[in-house]
Amino acid sequence: MTNDAKTMVVKIGSSTIVGEDGRIDRAFISNLARQAAELRRLGWNLVVVSSGAMACGYPILGFAAKPKGDLPSLQACASAGQCILSAAYDEEFHAHDILTSLVLLTRHDTARRSSYLHARDALLRLVELGVVPVVNENDTVSVAEIKFGDNDTLAALVSCLVSADMCVTLSDIDGLYTANPTLDPNARFIPRVDKIDASIIGSAGDSSTSVGTGGMITKIRASRILMTAGIESVICSGSEPDALVRIARGESVGTLFAPPVKRLDIAPRKLWIALGDQTHGSVTVDDGAAHALIDNGSSLLAVGIRGVQGPFAAGDILDVKDASGMVIARGIAEADSDTLELAAGRRQEDIESNRLLAQLAGKPAIHRDNLIVFA
């Protein structure tokens, strides 16, 4: 590959790659490998974010269905299933002279800035060497506190790590509708989204399946972060013929989420804030503060805070919500939840004269350098 090659991240849902019986769709992976070879000829690198390990693990371990509420059994299913899944990718891609690698991540690997950068460097080097990394969450060791929770978020993270040009989600749905099409016969297909607002989020019905963990809402949230990073993303059906190749050629397939500009000037540290660690709480701000954050790139001052949802500590990552409850930004708290709750609505001069609020004296609640505002 040349240095000016583009990079596409493709996220594959469990229901796309694994049937209800737990059998891997080898024909699907074979077709994916063929498209990877064609993408390479078109000047594209490919990174795969693949669900399905747990779904194809439980049948071979003798479970009639995915074990619920039994973490060790779930982890065992993920461990056994990951071997089967990796072998299928290796064999089908090898038939097209493409080498694959396995990359397993948890929040523990990305929550620390240093390990986040190490993961980025490893993925970039694999792509540079012509390898197709197959990335999945390390469900064998994951627990609730360090889980991404869904591979839509993981795909957005990987896309930012490798500075992807495109992220494609292959799912059991063909794109975004104005409502859940399985429940509303009047639902209209949306071919392009230029801004994710409350109406777009409200249109996201539950599209989870018995073998998957995600839904349309997780895909929209991931797409919003990608738009903020200046990365185009597409949600389309995994059964759509030659979807990846057609998208690479500029054809309209599924729903395209188009960023405001091709590539925004977002510092890598801010992308890490958006995706690297889970949020530990939130603050709700008034209209004036929301305007200052979105339009002026300001820091968040305590005077603009109207509500605090915790508990959280100084240094934790928070969601910033507007008066309607819409998440408009994410950032690192300068103080703990008790302190911010006491400081909420107060001006800086009042904070500086209050001994209990000394932690915030002369500081914002969230500094603009530690804040990412979503597109």
Q: Can you name the residues that pair with 309 across neighbouring β-strands? A: 282
Judge whether 45 is annotated as a binding position: no
Question: Which H helix or E strand runs over 332?
Answer: strand 327-332
Judge whether 68 is annotated as a binding position: no
Judge whether 171 is annotated as a binding position: yes
Judge whether 239 is annotated as a binding position: no
Task: Give the integer Cα–Cα distance in Å for 372 and 225.
Answer: 10
Tokens of 55: 């779904």
Residue matched to tokens 């077709």: 31
How crowded is residue 19: how many other Cβ atoms within 10 Å of its Cβ? 15
Q: Rounded to 5 degrees, what are φ and ψ at 316?
A: -80, 155
Task: Give the integer Cα–Cα distance in Å for 149 and 275.
Answer: 12
Residue matched to tokens 């869904």: 150
Tokens of 153: 């978020």
Q: How many CA atoms lie within 13 A of 244 on its CB side?
A: 35
* Contact present, 312 and 318 (Cβ < 8 Å): yes
Task: Give the integer Cα–Cα distance in Å for 196 and 374.
Answer: 9
Q: Which residues contact 191 (CB under 8 A, 6 or more apart)?
A: 175, 252, 255, 256
Residue matched to tokens 């993961």: 119
Judge whether 21 is annotated as a binding position: no
Judge whether 86 is annotated as a binding position: no
Judge whether 169 is annotated as a binding position: no
Q: Assess whether the previous peptide bond of 311 is cis (omega < 30° from 0).
A: yes
Judge whether 216 is annotated as a binding position: yes
* Contact present, 228 and 259 (Cβ < 8 Å): yes
Q: Which residues contact 352 (CB under 8 A, 6 or more apart)?
A: 361, 362
Long-range contacts of 174-177 (CB under 8 A, 24+ apart): 174/236, 174/237, 174/240, 174/254, 175/235, 175/236, 175/237, 175/254, 175/255, 176/200, 176/203, 176/204, 176/216, 176/220, 176/235, 176/255, 177/203, 177/205
Judge whether 151 is annotated as a binding position: yes
**Residue list, annotated binding site:** 11, 51, 139, 151, 171-172, 213-219
**Residue list, annotated binding site for substrate:** 51, 139, 151
**Residue list, annotated binding site for ATP:** 11, 171-172, 213-219
